[in-house]
């Protein structure tokens, strides 16, 4: 079974721009979560999508948004980028049952200049 | 709210030494507990998990026991290898947080030959 795919793996943007990151979960998994990893704040939960609906949301500003498509693929978008948005963005694939294992992708490294 | 506290790193050990990484948690509900490992340049891999008190998770020689009385989930390995060098994250999830993973800050482990 193929693992979690995240594209692109690396991205460089400038302040004020917006960015879209993509995540394809493991085949058959219906839920996707997103996390931000920074040296200062560690790993923080962004949001979770299940069957195209946001099921849970972390404490991030409205500049961070996401969506999920009918094939379970998910995208997250960050608008009006700030230097502090530089981070590794990790996507996790979840079979569907809440509280179960989460399988992580390799992440997208975003650098904001 | 929920929180996870891990021992600060970095931890440096010689090959074949005994490893303990301490993890304690605070949760209002009945969380599931996890250990994830992150190798350089990669995403997170689930190392082991425990879903209820007194459960012992084990994988690849690593073990951790869910201790409700001490709210702890310490990671242990009897004999570490150079290939175990990585960052280890303790995490919990429960219904109160919508099953989002709540991570500790991570403990960096370096094993020298």
pLDDT per position as a tens digit, B73-89? 999 999 999 999 999 99
* Spatial separation of the C-alpha atoms in residues B20 and A53, rounded to whole Å: 40
Q: What is the pLDDT of residue A100?
A: 74
Share of chain B above pLDDT 70, in %: 100
B44-59: average pLDDT:
95
- Give the DSSP letter string of chain B: --EEEE--S-EEEETT--EEE-EEEE-SS--EEEEEEE-TTS-EEEEEEE-STT-EEEETTEEEE-BTTTTB--EEESS--GGG-EEEEEEEE-GGGTT--EE---EEEEEE-
- Interface contact A42-B99, CB threshold 8 A: no
Q: What residues in A contact B91, CB-CB < 8 Å?
A: 43
pLDDT in tens, A27-58: 999 999 999 999 999 999 999 999 999 999 99
Residue of A68 and A99 predicted with greater confidence? A68
Q: Taking CB atoms and an 8 Å cutoff, what residues of chain A touch B36? A: 104
The pLDDT confidence band at residue B30, using thresholds 50, 70 and 90, is confident
Confidence of residue B7 (pLDDT cuts 50, 70, 90): confident
Q: Which residues in chain A are closer than 8 Å to B43, comparing Cβ atoms?
A: 4, 6, 90, 104-107
**Are the Cβ atoms of B42 and A106 closer than 8 angstroms?**
yes
Rounded to 5 degrees, φ, ψ at A28 are: 95, -15
Q: Is the pLDDT of residue A74 over 70?
A: yes
Test the B interface: residue of A30, A45, A109 with most B CBs within 10 Å? A45
- Neighbouring residues of B43: CB distance < 8 A, sequence distance ≥ 6: A4, A6, A90, A104, A105, A106, A107
CA distance B9 to chain A (A): 13
B17-to-A30, A40, A68, A102, B25 alpha-carbon distances in Å: 41, 30, 45, 30, 26
The rounded mean pLDDT for chain A is 94
Q: Chain-wide mean pLDDT for chain B?
A: 94
pLDDT band at A1 (very low <50, low <70, confident <90, very high): low
Quick check: A13 contacting B, CB < 8 Å?
no
Integer-rounded Cα Rg, in Å, for chain A is 13
B45 touches chain A (CB under 8 A): yes
pLDDT band at residue B97 under the 50/70/90 scheme: confident
Mean pLDDT of A81-105: 90
Report the gap between the CA of B110 and the closest CA in chain A (Å). Answer: 18
Query: Are A45 and B100 an interchain contact pair (Cβ–Cβ within 8 Å)?
Result: yes
């Amino acid at each position: 079974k193929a693992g979690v795919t995240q594209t692109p793996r690396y991205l460089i943007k400038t302040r004020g721009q917006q960015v879209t990151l993509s995540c394809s979960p493991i085949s058959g998994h219906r839920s996707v979560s997103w996390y931000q990893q920074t040296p200062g704040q560690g790993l923080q939960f962004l949001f979770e999508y299940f069957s195209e609906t946001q099921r849970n949301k972390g404490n991030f500003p409205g500049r961070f948004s996401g969506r999920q498509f009918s094939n379970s693929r998910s995208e997250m978008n960050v608008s009006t980028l700030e230097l502090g948005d530089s981070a590794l963005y990790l996507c996790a694939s979840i079979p569907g049952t809440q509280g179960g294992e989460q399988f992580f992708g390799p992440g997208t490294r975003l650098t904001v200049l | 709210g929920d929180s996870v506290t891990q021992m600060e790193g970095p931890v440096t050990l010689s090959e074949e030494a005994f490893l303990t990484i301490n993890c304690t948690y605070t949760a209002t509900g009945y969380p599931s507990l996890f250990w994830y490992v992150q190798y350089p340049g990669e995403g997170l891999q689930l190392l082991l998990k425990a879903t209820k008190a007194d459960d012992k998770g084990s994988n690849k020689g690593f073990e951790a026991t869910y201790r409700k009385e001490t709210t702890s989930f310490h990671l242990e390995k009897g004999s570490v290898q150079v290939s175990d060098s990585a960052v280890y994250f303790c995490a919990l999830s429960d219904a109160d947080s919508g099953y989002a993973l709540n991570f500790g800050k991570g403990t960096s482990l370096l094993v020298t030959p």
